[in-house]
Amino acid sequence: MFKKIPFLILVAGLAASGAWAAEILPDTPVRHNGRIKPFDAFARQTLKVLAEADKWDKKTAFPLIKEAVQNPKSAASWKWIRVDLKDLKRYLNLSDETHFFSYDDLLPVKSRVEFLVQNAKEKRKKDERPSKTEQKAETLYNQIRTFEELQSGGLYTVLPADDAAVNKSRLRVESFYLNYEPHTKAAALYFLACFIFLLFTDKKMHVFANLCILLAFLWHTVGLICRVYVLARPPVSNMYESMIFMSWVLVFFAGIFSFIYKNNIPLRVGALVGGLVMLYSRLLPIDASLDVLVPVLRSTYWLSVHVMTVVSSYGAFGLAMALGHRYLILDYMGKLPKKAAQESANLMDRVIQLGVILIGTGTVLGGVWANESWGRFWGWDPKETWALITFLCYLIVVHLRFLKKMNSFWLAFSAVLGFLVVLMTWYGVNFVLGRGLHSYGQGSGGMKWIIYYLIAEAAFIGFVLKARLLDRGFSG
Amino acid sequence: MRKVIQVFGSLGFAIFLIAFLVLILAVSTLSESWHGTPFVQRYIYSAFWFDLFLSLLWINIFCATLTRWPFQKKHTGFIITHIGILTLLIGSLLSRLFGVEGQISLFENQAKQNILQQGWEIRLLDEKQKLHKQPVKIRPSKGTYDIAIEGTPYVFTVLKSYENSTLRTTLSEGTSADATNHALRVNLSSERIGLNENFWLIENNPEDAHSSFKNIGPALIQMKVEKNGENETKPLLLLYSAKYEKSFEVPIDQKELREVKLANSELTLTRLNYYPNAKISRNELTNAPDEIRFNPAVQFEIRNANGHTEEHTRFLIFPDYPTLKGGLSADMFGLKVGLRVETPDELKSEFSPSLNFYFKNNEWSYDSVSSKGKSGRRPLEPKKATPTGWMDMVFKVSEVFVRAKIVRSIESAPASKTTDNYPALFLQNKATGAADWLSPEKNASFQTLPAGKIEMALSVQSKAVPFALKLVDFRKIDYPGTSNAQEFESDVVLMDVIKKTTIERTISMNKPLDYAGYRIFQSSFAQDPERGEMSVFTVAKNPGIGLIYSGSVIILIGVIMLFYIQPVWLGKKKRHV
């Protein structure tokens, strides 16, 4: 049964102990991408690369990859490598009918893929952006290479369970994290709570909804703790982690403000936006896997504090944005009495103030880290520049509010608008500008869902402006 | 006066300044995305007008603070915050004016007490072997100007000045006295995949044995000059060492060779394997005559006198890039590796896909081979776009040479967005009238200016620091099971001769060494064939950093005062204004 397992692994395994050879199990430790992880985690990551999905042919990653490892010849004929770009398929003479191809289908056109990849490489060397076809060809090339390395066994190393490098409890936590998907559960519960608030007016149901949020927040927290424990680093090192952390902070702040002001509203809108951010973290093509870091990010205290502070400020601004939407919608519908409007504005003030303190502090801490790490406090890197822009934009709002030069309507409006600047800092700098120190290991693309959000938000803003300026539709 | 202060310190002015700053910054990050970091650093962030604009902000904050005079209890938060901002801005100004930032690159067991900074200087070694340094600003030239080297009688006129230059290879037609050397300039393009490539096919180029053909992906574009009565050639390994400025030819008689000394050099070929039908399978190079009809490859190991070895693999056709594994580093000997193999007759014009240019009986023709078959030979029409017949591509021959002469020259180039720019100056000695290029680029043989017995160079500006730094050991630590770096570490010794202090320390990423106001950071590393690993450190002195840090803390205190303490302290109604 194991004759297909590459020789090297066999030797390594046998040399250490005979116990490993029993059977590949989901929690068999393997070394992959510089980290020791359960076989299941490796399988999921590999399937994600090949099929760009969590399942293929209704089978999950573990049995699939296990079979592929044990039976590489037949795996070469599985049509599970996803290629979806029409232009690329045409260039490779692949069928337009399907998105999935087997290694055997792709092998004859590998040289064409290599051709495009080399073009892309040349362009990157010259600092030009490769064409979409070339970028997709790079993805495809990576898929082909991954499959070949999976076949040859170069991709991973199976370790004996009693290897000294294996931390069993870490493996167990990682398996738990992968099997229970705490963040999916949390998002679902946030949405459930929002539906209850929307559909029921019954007090008891509201108590139940609040319990749902509490449970969701617990799952959310458990998920974060799992990541921190498995990777032994703060949960803010890539886009996925920062989205999960931002939504956690958002709900946390919502809870705090709800508690202080004895007002359930921040928690309700917070749960909705928190759930949406978590949903987005799944929709965007960003890497959710647990992986190691480049040396400069492998640091320290200041880096963690800096990033966590800045991402927390996004959480606060996200909450302000949610409150802003609520304010504008209710005000337009005429369902916002003066006292409630005043309360809501006061809340937005407080949330924005918190955000300003956090982003200001976070940006300065970034300077501290930069100074500790490479001797320069400020370097006009695009990300830090955009953090400064965000800070300055909200600073204008804070100033105008302090001097009573901005009414509640425009405050709510600014809270909505300001979050677009936050998005630019958070997502846009890495994916739109694609430059600078902060663009470590970021992919490209996935603009679709962001564009949907932007269109929806632009329509909302346009509608509000029209109603306000032309139809005088708001109180103020 | 009070009125002026009120206007400059007004909220309206502040909001205008902040909004304008936001606009400038947004535009500048966008233009950074288009034009690259050096562009915005030079035209925005380091520009005089930007400093001027930031000082307006300073004036605004200062005046705003003054307008609150005499201060009252309700102003506490406001005053603290604004004093914090002013402190921070003074700190950044101090750092800007008196800060130092540079780099030291050290090999193991090497010590230096100079750092390299941004900017350029002319170095002149005079008749008495004394070194003079003259900083120069390199700007695109408008007319000529003079540079005097301080401490020497030499004055030079700058005739041309390029901020960024490249060493360009151009061809020109020789005279009938020159040997024939056929060359074509070919453009290959495809709209569908956005390809547009220009390249030369040259019969003989001493620096590039592969100059008569070009691989683009799996496709082969080649030029064949057919001479009468020439014998079939055996496989031949061609080597050109930029370091020794020599080329070598090693005939391959059998599939394996051992120990060939390369004439007039300290290089020895220690092992050579020849694969007429090369295939990479499971990361191993093998001969697969059943699968591969024609793809010769050669794999060999080369060793220098110090015993450092380097393994090279060169394919004739695909993959079309050489691979090498090094002892100390990649490409220690600056080798360009070529392989010359006569194509077997039955494959001669059958390689698919390919585009073949022929020169026979004083006429150019071409044919192309694709999976659909082979086109007949057609006469070549220069400057006409013609389909290749494969991969939806179009080719065009723009220039044709019979006696091509290869000329290298320095030319102005567009500024690079990412890599370092190499400036170039064309200088004329005022006294003697001799003129030549000065450029720091490697391989540019223009380093010295014939101006008597002096030597000159254009170099990165250097600055002495009050200590010497010595590298003892450098280590790159990888994540287990990968070649991805986990950490870089350097063991260093810092020596201050005047104060007679010696510090031994390990510097790693994020763990710098502090000395006398300077911080020394691990920045990157490089490898050199002869001297081993080189560790690169950033050395920075940031005199304003204390003020920046304390300013930040003061701001935070002020803001917390303003947002959270004052409302409680003074009651909700009374705000700070």
The answer for residues whose C-beta is within 8 angstroms of residue B227's C-beta and 6 or more apart is none
Nearest to A318, CA basis, from A427, A446, A474: A427
- Judge: B36–A393 Cβ closer than 8 Å, yes or no: no
pLDDT under 70: residue ranges of chain A: 1-22, 126-128, 294-300, 433-447, 473-476
Minimum-distance CB partner of A111 among B32, B217, B418: B217
- Judge: A403–B560 Cβ closer than 8 Å, yes or no: no
Mean pLDDT of B546-567: 91
Would you call A35 an interface residue with chain B, using a CB distance cutoff of 8 Å? Answer: yes
**Residues of B with Cβ-Cβ distance to A360 under 8 angstroms:** 555-556, 559
In the prediction, which pLDDT does A12 show?
41
A172-202: pLDDT as tens digits: 999 999 999 999 999 999 999 999 999 998 8
Residue B253 contacts residue B247 (beta carbons within 8 Å)? no
Mean pLDDT of B215-226: 79
CB atoms within 10 A of CB A186: 29
Which comes out higher in pLDDT, residue B91 or A372? B91
Element (H, E) at A89: helix A86-91
Query: Which ranges of B505-565 does DSSP label H, i.e. alpha helix?
Result: 545-560
Mean pLDDT of B115-142: 81
In the prediction, which pLDDT does B275 show?
86
Residue A307 contacts residue A442 (beta carbons within 8 Å)? no
In total, the C-beta contacts within 8 angstroms joining chain A to chain B are 169
| Strand B219-225 versus strand B354-360 pairing type | parallel
> Which of A7, A90, A115 to probe by mutation at the B interface, max B CB count within 10 Å?
A115
The percentage of chain B sitting over the pLDDT mark of 70, rounded to a whole number, equals 85
- Judge: A373–B521 Cβ closer than 8 Å, yes or no: yes
In the prediction, which pLDDT does B453 show?
65
Minimum-distance CB partner of B509 among A299, A378, A388: A299
- Mean pLDDT over all residues of chain B? 80
d(CA A55, CA A62) in angstroms, rounded, equals 10
- Judge: B21–A392 Cβ closer than 8 Å, yes or no: yes
pLDDT bucket at B51, cuts 50 / 70 / 90? confident
> Which of B22, B92, B103, B535 to probe by mutation at the A interface, max A CB count within 10 Å?
B22
Which comes out higher in pLDDT, residue B451 or B389? B389
**Residues of B with Cβ-Cβ distance to A396 under 8 angstroms:** 15, 18-19
Would you call B535 an interface residue with chain A, using a CB distance cutoff of 8 Å? Answer: no
Q: Measured in whole angstroms, how far is the alpha carbon of residue A406 from the centre of its chain? A: 35
**Residues of A with Cβ-Cβ distance to B577 under 8 angstroms:** 402-403
- Judge: B539–A375 Cβ closer than 8 Å, yes or no: yes
Q: If DSSP codes are grouped into helix, strand and coil, which group holds residue B55? A: helix
- Judge: A133–B194 Cβ closer than 8 Å, yes or no: yes
B58-84: pLDDT as tens digits: 899 889 888 887 888 888 888 899 899
In the prediction, which pLDDT does B416 show?
63
In the prediction, which pLDDT does B426 show?
85
Q: Across-strand partners of B223?
A: B357
Mean pLDDT of B183-196: 82
In the prediction, which pLDDT does A475 show?
62
The reply to whether the predicted model has a pTM over 0.80 is: no
In the prediction, which pLDDT does B482 show?
67
Q: If DSSP codes are grouped into helix, strand and coil, which group holds residue A165? A: coil
In the prediction, which pLDDT does B553 show?
94
Beta strand ranges found along B182-251 (DSSP E): 183-190, 195-202, 213-216, 219-225, 236-241, 246-251
**Residues of B with Cβ-Cβ distance to A385 under 8 angstroms:** 25, 28-29
Residue A140 contacts residue A111 (beta carbons within 8 Å)? no
In the prediction, which pLDDT does B205 show?
80
In the prediction, which pLDDT does A141 show?
92
**Residues of A with Cβ-Cβ distance to B519 under 8 angstroms:** 375
**Residues of B with Cβ-Cβ distance to A152 under 8 angstroms:** 282-283
Query: ω before A160 within 30° of 0 (cis)?
Result: no
- Alpha-carbon gap: B6 to the closest alpha carbon of chain A (Å): 16
Element (H, E) at B53: helix B48-67
Residue B356 contacts residue B349 (beta carbons within 8 Å)? yes
In the prediction, which pLDDT does A294 show?
64
- Judge: B33–A87 Cβ closer than 8 Å, yes or no: no
- Judge: B33–A403 Cβ closer than 8 Å, yes or no: no
Would you call B261 an interface residue with chain A, using a CB distance cutoff of 8 Å? Answer: no
In the prediction, which pLDDT does A437 show?
43
Which comes out higher in pLDDT, residue A42 or B526? A42
B504-525: pLDDT as tens digits: 999 987 788 989 889 898 888 8
Mean pLDDT of B225-244: 69
- Judge: B217–A298 Cβ closer than 8 Å, yes or no: no
